[in-house]
A and B are shown apart, each in its own frame.
Chain A
Amino acid sequence: MSVKTLTIDGKMVTGMAGETIFNAAWEAGIRIPRLCHVGGVSDVGACRLCLVEIEGQKKLLAACLTPVEEGMVVHTNTERLRAHRRLILELLFAERNHVCSVCVMNGQCELQDLAAEAGLDHVRLRYQFPKLGVDTSHERFGLDHNRCVLCTRCIRVCDEVEGAHTWDVSGRGARSVIIADMGEPWGQSESCTSCGKCVQVCPTGALFSKGRGVGEMRKDRRFLKYIVTAREKHQWIR
């Protein structure tokens, strides 16, 4: 497989043909913000936080979906990109009800981390305060729609890794919600194997294990990587 050489933020970086800019950057220690991307499952380019500027291209492109090319010059952290990312995060905080102080993920949440990184200290947009429910019908896990950012990580991991395809999106636009099976309470889902993979990859406190108090939920960030490499290389050790 051929190797491509490119420049990301002034640094010479190499990547395999077909590899994404996102991966090549992370391997070189350049951390591009992301929310919908999670290693081990397909990418959808939905959160738009990983958009980068590529010299010679008018459009911003999602790093998680754009393959590296020889001689590419990529900028991941320009003033324009930072402004866009801040506003996207503001949109997310205003969209649903993210009350961090009472969330099981307080301090561990990827959305919080992104906001901190972006230096976001207040939201200029109107909070929408939608009325959304919490599904606690599952024996071990819960889903709080108020904290869901619709990244669809749960859908993809359940479909592509566990093979259960329990989750999907129903409705469109701002009315989109994550549903189990055909809209049943999670606890009554016939496809769910209770493997917990979706809970581990959820970036926020939307999917959580029951019995955790505020700030107590810990997600195993290497969980998915472990399963994927284990399957590919048959190494069932961590």
Chain B
Amino acid sequence: MTVEELFELHSEEQARLRRLENRIYCCTAAGCVSCGAEGLRSAIAAAIKAEGLEGRVEVCGSGCLGLCSKGPLVRSAADGALYGELPPEEGALLVRPNPIDRQRLAAKRLDTNAPFFARQLKIVLANSGQVDPERLADYIAAGGYQALAKAVTEMTPQEVIEEIKRSGLRGRGGAGYPTGLKWELVARQPSPVKYVVCNADEGDPGAFMDRSVLEGDPHRVLEGMAIAGYAVGAQQGYIYVRGEYGLAIQRLQTAIKQAEREKLLGNRVFETGFQFRVDLRIGAGAFVCGEETALIASIEGKRGQPRQRPPYPPESGLWEKPTLINNVETFANVPPIITEGGDWFASIGTETSKGTKVFALAGKIAHTGLIEVPMGTTLRTIVFEIGGGVPGGKFKAAQTGGPSGGCIPEQFLDVPVDYESLTNIGSMMGSGGLIVMDESSDMVDVARFFMEFCMDESCGKCIPCRAGTVQMHDILSRLTRGEGTAEDIRLLEELGALLRETSLCGLGQTAPNPVMSTLRYFRHEYEAKLASGGRQ
């Protein structure tokens, strides 16, 4: 496809969509599928047929529509309405509703002006629920691949990197390293062979941000990777997806095939000299394989174990070649930055953290689901406005950053959520899991839960993490059983410092965080559990 053909297809498909009387989007992400989205979709398709409306009304699958707790979700393009908890027979009414049907449907209509929707800002998820992830034409109609076209035909690699640097984008995989700087490091390496790797291992318990992006808008990630490949001088990309993400894998495979067929990926991208191929690598579900050096070892076919950095992957990564590794959400931010400009992106967010962040809301919160908010939004807004508050209870803490993060108590509800402020209060941005706890949560048990996770997921290479997580878990279990002593709490702190300072990789280094943060803010709960009943 040439750039001209891309724009032609873009207008043709937009015109086609405008001619339709209605297009009904059924969320086919995992959450809605588990509450009957497929049956709903077939019922709508059958109704279209029965009414003889083929070619005038369409039904299609879509990515996550956000409010997972009200699934299955359906969006009707004709009036922009969003419906929740629709049984198949009511879904069928959407096709050609009479006034009585309309009334019945109105009861299932969700208020899209409610804070849950109104307080969000969608950049990464802009297409999620707006395009059929299995149709390339849908993505192109939404402006897809225009950023790649612009990059390869109008910009030099250095200009692309400058744009990313100007945007202030930072890695969404957890550590928040400035993306533009990382690209520049890889671009500077003289090696003729380089790689671009997309980290889609997403192993945090309860996290499904990356999964939703891959399932709902796979082409976006491919486009971001191809732009990165152009900028750093790589011809080959790999997406490392966890094996449990069957639907994401299938959608990615479809998307790669479509993009290759249209020469949006492959030998002559947009008929220029730039070539870029993308292949999938399927992980076997070890959390540690999300760590970049372990991920590289795993792609190379070795045991998925981290190694000491430096050398960092930009210098020596996959097969010892310069390698750019970014997270799914990081890549998904790239196309809009190229199209809209780095300054536009940098105008959103806080001083040090630009753009938006996707969070998966879970736990004791009214609206569980996937949200995207500007960086700097306060936890209070996220939990009480967007999340609808804590049903029937009182907010106690929010856990961010998964097993590497910490518990944030009520006193910090007004802290703007960005990389630095979360780190300052003993937690972490992490990849975007956000679990809300009410006063029924036992903080020592929460810490024990995350420590058990790290203990089970430790690769076992280095002693502090392999044996230290076992001992910390042992102590936490003793404490939860009411058998702990004051000496145990001291040991817990000593072990925590050891793991943080001496472990080989991030897993061990951050494993103590949930313990340390709960000890910092909920120490009385630990002390109340001592065998001596709190007396020292």
Query: Which positions in A face B, CB cutoff 8 Å?
Result: 44-48, 51, 59-60, 62, 65, 80, 83-84, 87-88, 91-92, 94-95, 124-126, 128, 149-150, 168-169, 171-176
Contact = CB atoms under 8 A, between A and B. Distances in A.
Contacts of B528: none
Closest 7 CB pairs of A and B: A176-B460, A91-B467, A173-B458, A45-B308, A95-B467, A48-B502, A173-B460
A126 B468 CA distance: 11
B105 interface: no
A168 B302 CA distance: 12
B466 A44 contact: no
Interface stretch (B184-192, B248-256, B491-499): B491-499
B286 interface: yes
B303 to A, nearest CB: 7
A65 B457 CA distance: 25
Contacts of B322: none
Contacts of B456: 173
Given A48-B463, A173-B457, A175-B460, A91 B502 contact: no
A174 B458 CA distance: 8
A65 B502 contact: no
7 contacts: A48-B463, A48-B504, A51-B502, A92-B463, A173-B455, A173-B460, A175-B460
Nearest to B468: A91
A169 B303 contact: yes
B460 A45 contact: no
A51 B468 CA distance: 17
Interface string B445-485: 00000000001111111111011111100100000000000
B498 A87 contact: yes
B503 interface: yes
A60 B502 contact: yes
Nearest to A170: B303
Interface string B280-317: 00000010100000000000000100011000000000
B474 A126 contact: yes
A47 B462 contact: yes
A88 B503 CA distance: 11
B460 A169 contact: yes
Interface of B: 286, 288, 303, 307-308, 455-464, 466-471, 474, 487, 491, 494-495, 498, 501-504
Nearest to B464: A48
A174 B460 contact: yes
Contacts of A84: 498, 501-502
A48 B459 contact: no
Given A46-B504, A48-B504, A94-B471, A176 B462 contact: no
Contacts of A47: 462-463
Nearest to A49: B463
B463 A174 contact: no
Contacts of A168: 303
Contacts of B462: 45-48
A128 B461 CA distance: 18
Contacts of B455: 173-174
B467 A92 contact: yes
A173 B469 contact: yes
A88 to B, nearest CB: 5
A100 to B, nearest CB: 18
Most buried by B among A45, A59, A174: A174
Contact of A88 (B286, B288, B307, B498): B498
Nearest to B459: A172
Contact of B466 (A60, A125, A173): A173
Most buried by B among A48, A95, A168: A48
Contacts of A173: 455-460, 466, 469-470
A124 to B, nearest CB: 6
Contacts of B504: 45-46, 48, 62
